Amino acid sequence: MSLLKQLIEIQDNKKNIAVCNNLVSNHEYTGNLKRVKKEFDIEKSKFKSKEIEISNLKKKYQVASNSLNEDKEELEKIKFELYNNAGSDLKLIDALQKKFNKKQENIKIVDNEILKLLEQEEKLSSEKESLKIKLSKLKNDFYTYKNTEGSKINDAREKMKKSEEAIKETEKLIPVDILEIFNKICSSKGTGAAELKNNICSGCKVKVSSMTIDNVKKQQRIVYCDNCGRIIYCNEKKSF
């Protein structure tokens, strides 16, 4: 491998490291995980709230149901007394009839209350089920995204490691003085080498001199761009 190709290989690996590093340090990934987790916690809180509401409704239902049963038992007692023990005592009959009517009215009120409690419970149960489905979806979305993006990040870390190792191995083959020049250009320009296309440096987009082109044609060891100072090269498969 020629010296120039070795420098280009180092540059390509540096570019790869930069791309992978951006992926590894992607704040959007962490932000998205936090957003989904926050949304999950909010919906979970709503779900727990529905459970508490349903539990309280069931307690109210039980109290109302017990009260209804007691009222019905008392109603039967009043009814029995009215038809079996009142005889012709009009005063007692009137008192029992009023008591009977009042108890019937109370039973009707409790019946309506129980009906409303059942309707509320049905509504809350439906809302709870919707929240359960949403929680399940959020949980799946969270882990799917985490696993997918986490895999990309792990792959990026592995590629970075391989590129770093490749750079170290290639640097051992390059003379120290040339490597220092190349790294210095990379530090100031972002890239140290640029391809010459149609006599134009792809790094600075400026046409180079005829002398520089001639030096590249002669495949001199190192040729610099007249304008930006990058090391320029020509793809061997292309002509000037």
Q: Are 30 and 62 found together in one domain?
A: yes
Q: Are 206 and 145 found together in one domain?
A: no
Domain count, the chain: 2
Q: Are 167 and 196 found together in one domain?
A: no
- Please answer whether residues 159 and 20 qualify as being in contact, where contact means their C-beta atoms are separated by less than 8 angstroms: yes
Q: Is 239 inside any structural domain? A: no
Q: In Å, what is the CA distance from 166 to each residue of 11, 175, 183, 208?
A: 11, 16, 16, 32
The domain that holds 122 is classified in CATH as: 1.10.287.1490
Residues in Cβ contact with 127 at an 8 Å cutoff, skipping those fewer than 6 apart = 50
Q: Are 128 and 188 found together in one domain?
A: no
Q: Are 227 and 142 found together in one domain?
A: no
> Once rounded to an integer, what is the mean pLDDT over residues 11-20?
93
Residue 192 DSSP class: S
Q: Are 140 and 210 found together in one domain?
A: no
Residues in Cβ contact with 231 at an 8 Å cutoff, skipping those fewer than 6 apart = 4, 7, 181, 182, 185, 192, 193, 194, 222, 223, 224, 225
Rounded CA Rg of the chain: 42
Residue of 27 and 67 predicted with greater confidence: 67
Q: Are 194 and 122 found together in one domain?
A: no
Q: Are 25 and 115 found together in one domain?
A: yes
| Domain range for 182 | 176-233
Q: Are 18 and 133 found together in one domain?
A: yes
Q: Are 166 and 192 found together in one domain?
A: no
pLDDT tens digits along 171-198: 999 999 999 999 999 999 989 999 899 9
- Could you give the strand order of the β-sheet that contains 231-233, starting from the edge strand earlier in sequence? 200-201, 193-197, 231-233
Give residue 85's pLDDT. Answer: 86
Whether this model's pTM surpasses 0.85: no
Confidence of residue 1 (pLDDT cuts 50, 70, 90): low
Range list of β-strands (E), 164-230: 193-197, 200-201
**Among 140, 171, 202, where does a domain finish?**
171
